[in-house]
Amino acid sequence: MVAQLIDGKAIAARLRQDLAVEVAAMTAQGHRPGLAVVLVGEDPASQVYVRNKARQTVEVGMESFEYRLPASTGQDELLALVDRLNADPAVDGILVQLPLPPQIDATTVLRAILPEKDVDGFHPTNVGLVATGAGGIVPCTPLGSMMLIETVRRDLAGLNAVVIGRSNIVGKPMVQLLLAAGCTVTVAHSKTVDLPGLCRRADILVAAVGRPEMVRGDWVKPGAIVIDVGINRVTGADGKSRLVGDVAFAEAQAVAGAITPVPGGVGPMTIACLLHNTVKAAAVRRSLVPA
């Protein structure tokens, strides 16, 4: 058996097409949704992410506001910018790119963003709303992962799900989405006893631990849906670097029912869901289209 390949790149493209239609409708009603992205410093990976976000924002018809600040920027200066963006009616979503320089406390900055403009879904208000099933903005990577799962199977009620990783950005919100879908969910981490055995019981296995190819093929239940959130750069015996996930892809593909590749799986969905969250935020704030 060879697993179905979950093509995140194609699914993200379809989502952006749908968003472009929504953005056009909202623009015709008098407001073009706007996303502000703030980058502090010159981290190479962050620069690539910000550039891709800005390009895709424009491609779906939204306004893109980009702020690039030097690595020496102080916390008060950054908070002042966040305050201005909070008050700017043209800005519907605010994203402060992480990581931030050491002189800036990321938690303080993220909590300064208005919850209704927090398109990353990191503000405690949104975390609480998502956890209690009362709405809120869902973090982009878990939201995209859930969308990918639902392209394979819509009704998830009663399935066993295992999430490897308990970060606030991916693991914990992923658990909340799976619980809301009716799954029985187990959170695994570095201290989990018999992790391979636990994974073998999972109908849905989400790997978000940041360890290259940690999940082996014999950890996977035959027919399971495997979502690989990891993006790790490794160097092969030939000296060339390549990207791999947290799952040993070739091994797992021979056992799973469906699996995401790395790259081309969850990654493209993350930015698409950022755009989705911005459109949703604009709609909710202005009642331009149904949320």
Query: Is 41 annotated as ligand-binding?
Result: no
H/E segment holding residue 95: strand 93-96
Cα separation values, 103 from 42, 43, 108, 120, Å: 15, 15, 12, 22
C-alpha 105: how far from chain center:
22
Cα separation values, 129 from 178, 183, 287, Å: 15, 19, 20
- Just list the catalytic residues: 53, 97, 120
Burial pattern 255-271, b for ≥16 Cβ within 10 A else e, equals bbbbbbbbebbbbbbbb
Per DSSP, the three-state class of 10 is helix
Euclidean distance between CA atoms 201 and 45, whole angstroms: 36
Query: Is 167 annotated as ligand-binding?
Result: yes
Sequential DSSP letters for 227-272: EE---EEEE-TTS-EEEE-SB-HHHHHTT-SEE--SSSSHHHHHHH
Query: Is 165 annotated as ligand-binding?
Result: yes
Euclidean distance between CA atoms 5 and 265, whole angstroms: 9
What is the strand order of the sheet 204-207 is part of? 4-5, 258-259, 225-228, 204-207, 160-164, 184-188
Cα separation values, 281 from 27, 143, 251, 256, 260, Å: 14, 15, 40, 36, 28
Count CB atoms within 10 A of the CB of residue 13.
12
Query: Is 166 annotated as ligand-binding?
Result: yes
Euclidean distance between CA atoms 4 and 85, whole angstroms: 43
Binding residues for NADP(+): 165-167, 231
Binding residues: 165-167, 231
